[in-house]
Amino acid sequence: MVGTIQEGIRLFNMKRWDLALQEFLGALEKAKPDNVMQTIELAYYLGLCYTKLEQFDEALLYLEQVVTGTHDAMRVYQCRITLAYIYVITKRAQMAESELERLAETGFESVQLYTILAYTAWSERQYQKAVDLYKKALQLDNSNATAINGLGYILVDTAMDVQKGLLFCKKAVDINPKNASYLDSLGWAYFKNGNSAEAVNWLRRALDLAPQQKEIRNHIKIVAGEAG
């Protein structure tokens, strides 16, 4: 298998994950066993490619190699964030939290760190903790749409503050009106505020953008049933 790191990176930057993966695998086959730096570099890109392709078991294998094999603090940060993302997606919330807390202990602070921690807390039904973490994210970047939407959704879904939650959801959609998750949150927020007609409008927009998302379909069924 022919492959070079340079060509793999070029394809990766073009978002051709499958072709980039083949290049990196080919380069790994040719790599000298004693060239640790090259092996770690390839493991980094292989982990990212497998993540993009949603082949998470393979991704974990390579990302862990980077975390344990390099002293590059930024690479370790990127890999731990990606590991946490994979653990959240694969419903291993405690492992995700462990990765993120290790980062927090080293002094790394970022919006991404706090939003993933918040999402992890939400998935474990630790709602107040999730709210606090989203607020920390917004202290770092008060225009971050992911944190704004996440905070708004929790406030309306748990009935902590449905009116304030609606305002947050509106703001997230204003920032990115083509994001299906934000549109779904806004529709749900209108429903929780007693406006089923407006809720259906936004939920249908969300479904048009992401017809495969079960959460949106479930929200529409609930809202339509209530309206009927």
Domains and CATH numbers, the chain: 1-70 (1.25.40), 91-141 (no CATH), 143-228 (1.25.40.10)
pTM over 0.85: no
pLDDT in the model for residue 2: 59
CA atoms within 13 A on the CB side of 54: 3
Cα 166 to chain centroid distance, Å, stands at: 22
Per residue in 41-97, pLDDT tens?
999 999 999 999 999 999 999 999 999 998 888 898 889 889 988 998 888 888 888
158 secondary structure, DSSP code = T
Q: Return d(Cα 170, Cα 132) in angstroms, integer.
A: 20
pLDDT band, very low/low/confident/very high, at 228 (cuts 50, 70, 90): very low
pLDDT in the model for residue 166: 98
- Burial class from Cβ neighbours inside 10 Å (0-12, 13-18, 19+) for residue 114 reads buried
